[in-house]
């Protein structure tokens, strides 16, 4: 068994134009002061990281790693959640998702997709230069507007959508393979890969590609009422990244899983700061340890109630308490003897 690394923190929800959240050295000092040992870097935020330069320059990558090491930090993974989203966008969301891309490709879905594909490929190269073995991303979505089948979906619509999704991602996954990096899709509502069934549909279409893997975040399973512990049992071999995020689901007589278009604070299913929700983290960390997850436990903070700085401050000790230092031997080894086949036969009454 392996001991999970951590605590780590995803910087996306904390980066801003205000100090200390507006540069990588400054935000690194802040998270190190809170007790974090690793950072997951949003590669789209140029205030923190230059993805294009990282894909091209080993010197830049070495400088970033060295600066962080001086502060007692490592990079857990790079993230292309926003760029990955743009690999596959349904036209209904074109206007909203333009904001994830440079102005030069706004209003041009084809150019936007080409930009996004190159960005994710750059992340594979940059990850290799940084010595990383896993990468966090989104799959994008072509079928999501049709997830509830009313009116009835035309025959073959979902199958065609997943065929196209796989066609777009297969060349990207090949680049990850060439660079020795796993692409870990966050299984997330709003993405075509949002549960186990949809991940399997995609995996089949990319030929069980060894680099098509999973970012596990139990909060999204609480909100859709999926068994997040059984998910680990089923897919542990494909889980390469881990977001530690809490959530709660409290349905009532007026609203349930779909949320009634309400704001996050009023929805029955809400993301919460660590320890404030319903996720059984002791069971999750136990299953991750039992299944040899060797990656990082990374806080993703999203809460409709608590201030982010309080959530971040509470997150590091919370994760640290839950990381299991795995045992090197069984607790009852002291009572075990060497193999004695003659004794075994006598115990079974054979001799």
pLDDT in tens, 82-128: 999 999 999 999 999 999 999 999 999 999 999 999 999 999 999 99
Under the banding of pLDDT at 50, 70 and 90, the label for residue 5 is very high
Asked whether 134 and 181 are in contact (CB, 8 A), the reply is: yes
Asked whether 37 and 73 are in contact (CB, 8 A), the reply is: yes
Query: Tell me, what's the pLDDT at 203?
Result: 98
Q: Provide the mean pLDDT of the chain.
A: 96
Query: Tell me, what's the pLDDT at 332?
Result: 61
Nearest to 16 by CA among 245, 309, 242, 217: 309
- Distance, CA of 116 to CA of 96 (rounded, Å): 15
Strand partners, 137: 80, 185
Nearest to 54 by CA among 45, 170, 22, 300: 45
CA atoms within 13 A on the CB side of 216: 27
pLDDT in tens, 206-261: 999 999 999 999 999 999 999 999 999 999 999 999 999 999 999 999 999 999 99
Query: Tell me, what's the pLDDT at 331?
Result: 59
Nearest to 37 by CA among 4, 83, 84: 4
pLDDT in tens, 255-264: 999 999 999 9
Under the banding of pLDDT at 50, 70 and 90, the label for residue 266 is very high
- Distance, CA of 51 to CA of 1 (rounded, Å): 34
- Distance, CA of 248 to CA of 251 (rounded, Å): 10
What are the CA-CA distances from residue 9 to residues 38, 136, 144, 223, 296 (Å)?
A: 6, 13, 29, 22, 9
Three-class SS state of 49? coil
- Distance, CA of 245 to CA of 273 (rounded, Å): 7
Is 335's pLDDT higher than 80? no
Query: Tell me, what's the pLDDT at 346?
Result: 87
Asked whether 320 and 297 are in contact (CB, 8 A), the reply is: no
Nearest to 79 by CA among 185, 203, 165: 185
Query: Tell me, what's the pLDDT at 337?
Result: 66
Mean pLDDT of 16-32: 97
* Secondary structure of 147-207 in HEC code, one letter for each residue: CCCCCCCCCCHHHHHHHHHHHHHHHHHHHHHHCCCEEEEECCCCCCCCCHHHHHHHHHHCC
CA atoms within 13 A on the CB side of 15: 19
What are the CA-CA distances from residue 298 to residues 74, 80, 149, 315, 323 (Å)?
A: 12, 15, 35, 9, 11
Mean pLDDT of 317-321: 98
Mean pLDDT of 153-164: 98
Under the banding of pLDDT at 50, 70 and 90, the label for residue 327 is confident
pLDDT-above-90 percentage for the chain: 92
Mean pLDDT of 323-336: 74
**Greatest CA span in the chain, whole angstroms?**
83
Sign of the C-alpha dihedral computed for residues 226, 77, 238 and 281 taken in this order: negative
∠ CA 96-102-105 to the nearest 5 degrees?
80
């Amino acid at each position: 068994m392996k001991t999970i690394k951590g605590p780590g923190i995803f910087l996306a929800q904390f980066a801003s134009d205000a100090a200390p959240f507006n540069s990588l050295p400054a935000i690194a000092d802040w998270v190190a002061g809170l007790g974090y040992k690793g950072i997951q870097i949003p590669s789209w935020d140029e205030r923190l990281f230059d993805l294009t330069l990282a894909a091209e320059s080993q010197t830049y990558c070495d400088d970033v790693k060295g600066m962080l090491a001086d502060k007692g930090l490592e990079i857990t993974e790079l993230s292309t959640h926003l760029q990955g989203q743009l690999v596959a966008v349904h036209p209904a969301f074109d206007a909203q998702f333009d904001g994830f891309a440079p102005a030069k490709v706004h209003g041009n879905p084809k150019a936007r997709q080409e930009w996004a594909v190159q960005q994710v490929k750059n992340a594979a190269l940059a990850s290799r230069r940084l010595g990383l073995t896993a990468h966090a991303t989104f799959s994008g979505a072509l079928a999501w507007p049709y997830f509830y089948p009313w009116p009835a979906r035309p025959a073959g619509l979902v199958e065609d959508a997943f065929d196209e999704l796989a066609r777009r991602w297969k060349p990207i996954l090949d680049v990850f393979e060439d660079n020795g990096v796993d692409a870990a899709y966050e299984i997330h509502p709003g993405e075509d890969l949002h549960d186990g069934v949809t991940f399997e549909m995609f995996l089949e279409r990319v030929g069980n590609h060894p680099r098509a893997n999973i970012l596990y975040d139990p909060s999204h399973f609480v909100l859709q009422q999926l068994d997040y512990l059984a998910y680990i049992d089923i897919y542990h071999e494909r889980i390469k990244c881990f977001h530690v995020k809490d959530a709660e689901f409290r349905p009532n007589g007026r609203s349930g899983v779909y949320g009634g278009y309400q704001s996050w604070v009023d929805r029955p299913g809400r993301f919460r700061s660590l320890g404030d929700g319903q996720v059984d983290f002791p069971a999750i960390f136990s299953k991750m340890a039992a299944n040899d997850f060797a990656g990082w436990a990374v806080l993703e903070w999203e809460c409709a109630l608590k201030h982010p700085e309080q959530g971040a401050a509470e997150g590091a000790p919370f994760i640290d308490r839950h990381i299991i230092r795995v045992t090197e031997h069984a607790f009852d080894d002291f009572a075990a003897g060497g193999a004695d086949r003659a004794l075994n036969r006598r115990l079974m009454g054979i001799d």
